[in-house]
């Protein structure tokens, strides 16, 4: 028994030595390849300073990611201001999945040896100065999903063999000097002319795709023929390698956690983000005059918004997010971009694209020519007429529809948590578009539908959110009700200037104080100059009162708000509230409770419904 134990220990020791020797050889080869690449580049910003040739472990270098076997799986050098050439040695990074070298000034040819990177998923060399042909060897990259070689000086024909890469999801060869015909077989059937724009290319007649290279075919046949044998060998070897694997896992757990590991494919932003455009930082810098102060459209809790003009002449709004510098910041940003891109509705601000670098997070939206509701109400130039009453009614309905979509049609549901006139934008025909919604926390709890990070703007935050820190859809309903009061009165939700007239600083309390007077003209924005319909204003105030009730359970859902604004159910809901208020007053009188009209609270739970007449 002792002899058997000693033999087993010896075998485990030998296996460990072999494994470590293998890892050392792999690391040395990859380190040599990356060092050769570094030596071929000019690096004015010292981005590659950590690439120390005396260290055989590139997993410790910046901009390099390794997988669990300590092989290089990712090279991230986009927007690094590098110049120089690619080197054949890069083909030795056989575990590489992501080669990100976009937006540099790399010149010369693409080495044929890059066809050896058979695990490659994303190949991004766009916005460089590469020339020469596209290597035919790239057809060996049978796991490739993203191939972007646009905005270079590549010439020659497109290799027809690329059509055999069946995994290809995104192809961009535009803005080069390519000639010949565009293949239309195989995976190329998915791509539109945009992928080949600004070249000298012609369409190729449909024909059967070429066979995969003999090497690849023989490999498949061989693996089919030897499948059973390989399975048996693998099963036998499993027992032998189980022990060293456990020891190795224990060794890794005891090591300091300073290694960089690969990001699984399902968490890569490119996998989920559909046809969203991924802008380079340089594109957005040029579009916004390097984020000049003159182009600032606004500031918010998440950062600044800049006006920009893209290369095609279109105007955009660029939201430059504040960098939180948290460990999960990149994953958080990817999640937010994915959620925003899935929320598509005519009354929600559409995301056009994004930009993500090690130091920047930016979102790109259409430019809204008429600004925000807040700016139109309170900061319009003298040459611009005030929002008339029909437009205000349309804004109320459109923004309600947008919020209802976030609450009831997005999966997971989205709570905006900062609904206000500043975040309701107006397009060229003054259609309401809800903005700034994708950066809110998501509703991920199946039963409670709450989140617990307090966020919002003074005057719009409901009482239960302040006291408990918990928000739900009804948080947005309350804020929407306050926004309706902004539309009606033209005033801010919180304004210290009202103190000059001994009025409440909170718009909600100010409106509540004037409801008993039944003087509609006191509440309505003076800029309307009496051009409104009384009962329509009263109906909108009724909806606002229903939305801002003190108890979240008593507030209607946004889908119900939409129906009430469309004329369905408001009278019944208002009558029910009147009856409840009468019963509450009788109960208070019976138990000698103080008059609720004298109470001041940050909600409208004490507003007497009979202060407003019902719909006429």
Catalytically active residues are 418
Determine contact, residues 62/50, Cβ cutoff 8 Å: yes
- Element (DSSP H or E) covering residue 64: strand 64-66
Helix (H) or strand (E) holding 21: helix 2-39
Question: Per the annotation, where are the binding residues?
Answer: 319
Q: Give the separation between CA 376 and CA 395, rounded to whole angstroms.
A: 12
What do you get for the CA distance between the two ends of the chain, in Å? 98
Place of tokens 């919180």: 494
Q: Which helix (H) or strand (E) holds 223?
A: helix 214-225
Write out the two tokens for 549. Answer: 């009730």
In the numeric block, which tokens belong to residue 517? 């007077």
Burial pattern 226-258, b for ≥16 Cβ within 10 A else e, equals eeeeeeeeeeeeeeeeebbeeebeeeeeeeeee
DSSP codes, 106-158: EEEPPPGGGGG-TT--EEE--SSEEEEPPPGGGGG-TT--EEE--SSEEEEPP
Strand partners, 372: 425
Contacts 24+ apart (CB under 8 A), 460-467: 460/418, 460/419, 460/420, 460/493, 462/548, 462/552, 462/602, 462/603, 463/550, 463/601, 463/602, 463/603, 464/552, 466/602
The angle that helices 389-408 and 534-547 make with each other, rounded to 10 degrees, is 30
Integer Cα distance of 166 and 162 in angstroms: 9
Query: Sign of torsion, CA 262 263 268 271?
Result: positive
Binding region for ATP: 319
Phi, psi at 390, each rounded to 5°: -55, -40
DSSP state of 264: P
Contacts of 222 (CB under 8 A, 6+ apart): none
Output the CA–CA distances (angstroms, integers) from residue 9 to 13, 15, 100, 244, 401, in the order listed. Answer: 6, 10, 44, 10, 69
Q: In degrees rounded to 5, what are phi and psi of residue 48? A: -100, 20
DSSP state of 67: -
Cα torsion 558, 563, 568, 573 to 10°: value is: 0
Cα 111 to Cα 132: distance, rounded to the nearest angstrom: 10
Residue the block writes with tokens 């208002």: 574
Listed residue (33, 157, 34, 37) closest to 86, CA to CA = 37
Q: Could you tell me which residues are beta bridge partners of residue 200? A: 179
């Amino acid at each position: 028994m002792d002899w058997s134990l000693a033999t087993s220990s010896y075998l485990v020791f030998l296996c460990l030595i072999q494994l470590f020797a293998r890892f050392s050889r792999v690391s040395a080869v990859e380190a040599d390849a990356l060092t050769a690449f570094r030596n071929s580049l000019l690096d004015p910003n010292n981005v590659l300073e950590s690439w120390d040739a005396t260290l055989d472990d590139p997993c410790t270098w910046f901009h390099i990611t390794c997988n669990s076997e300590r092989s290089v799986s990712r090279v991230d050098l986009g927007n690094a201001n590098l110049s120089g050439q690619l080197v054949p040695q890069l083909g030795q990074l056989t575990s590489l999945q992501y080669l990100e070298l976009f937006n540099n000034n790399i010149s010369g040819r693409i080495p044929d040896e890059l066809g050896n990177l058979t695990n490659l998923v994303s190949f991004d060399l766009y916005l460089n100065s590469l020339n020469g042909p596209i290597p035919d060897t790239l057809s060996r990259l049978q796991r490739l999903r993203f191939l972007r070689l646009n905005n270079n000086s590549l010439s020659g024909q497109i290799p027809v063999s690329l059509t055999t890469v069946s995994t290809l999801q995104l192809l961009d060869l535009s803005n080069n000097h390519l000639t010949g015909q565009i293949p239309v077989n195989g995976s190329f059937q998915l791509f539109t002319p945009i992928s080949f724009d600004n070249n000298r290319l012609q369409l190729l007649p449909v024909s059967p795709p070429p066979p995969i290279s003999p090497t690849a075919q023989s490999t498949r046949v061989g693996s089919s023929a030897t499948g059973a044998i390989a399975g048996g060998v693998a099963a036998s070897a499993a027992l032998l390698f189980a022990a060293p694997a456990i020891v190795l896992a224990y060794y890794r757990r005891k090591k300091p956690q300073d290694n960089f590991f690969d990001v699984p494919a399902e968490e890569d932003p490119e996998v989920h983000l559909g046809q969203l455009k991924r802008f380079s930082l340089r594109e957005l810098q040029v579009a916004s005059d390097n984020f000049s102060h003159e182009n600032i459209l606004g500031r918010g809790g998440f950062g600044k918004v800049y006006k920009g003009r893209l290369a095609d002449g279109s105007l955009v709004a660029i939201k430059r997010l504040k960098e939180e510098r948290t460990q999960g910041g990149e994953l958080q940003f990817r999640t937010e971009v994915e959620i925003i891109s899935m929320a598509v509705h005519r009354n929600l601000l559409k995301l056009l694209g994004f930009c993500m670098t090690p130091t920047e997070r930016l979102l790109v939206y259409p430019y809204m020519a008429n600004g925000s509701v807040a700016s139109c109400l309170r900061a319009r130039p003298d040459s611009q007429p005030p929002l008339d009453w029909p437009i205000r009614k349309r804004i109320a309905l459109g923004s309600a529809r947008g919020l209802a979509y976030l609450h009831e049609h997005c999966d997971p549901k989205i709570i905006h948590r900062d609904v206000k006139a500043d975040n309701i934008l107006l397009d060229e025909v003054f259609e309401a578009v809800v903005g700034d919604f994708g950066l809110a926390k998501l509703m991920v709890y199946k039963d409670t539908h709450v989140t617990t990070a307090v966020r919002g703007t003074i005057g719009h935050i409901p009482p239960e959110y302040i006291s408990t820190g918990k928000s739900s859809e009804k948080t947005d309903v309350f804020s929407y009700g306050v926004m309706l009061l902004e539309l009606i009165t033209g005033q801010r939700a919180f304004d210290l200037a009202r103190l000059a007239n001994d009025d409440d600083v909170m718009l909600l309390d100010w409106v509540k104080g004037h409801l008993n007077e039944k003087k509609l003209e006191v509440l309505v924005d003076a800029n309307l100059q009496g051009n409104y319909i009384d009962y329509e204003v009263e109906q909108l105030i009724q909806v606002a009162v229903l939305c801002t009730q003190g108890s979240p359970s008593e507030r209607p859902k946004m889908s119900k708000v939409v129906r009430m604004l469309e004329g369905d159910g408001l009278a019944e809901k208002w009558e029910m509230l009147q009856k409840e208020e009468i019963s509450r007053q009788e109960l208070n009188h019976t138990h000698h409770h103080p008059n609720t009209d004298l109470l001041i609270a940050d909600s409208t739970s004490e507003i007497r419904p009979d202060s407003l007449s019902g719909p006429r």
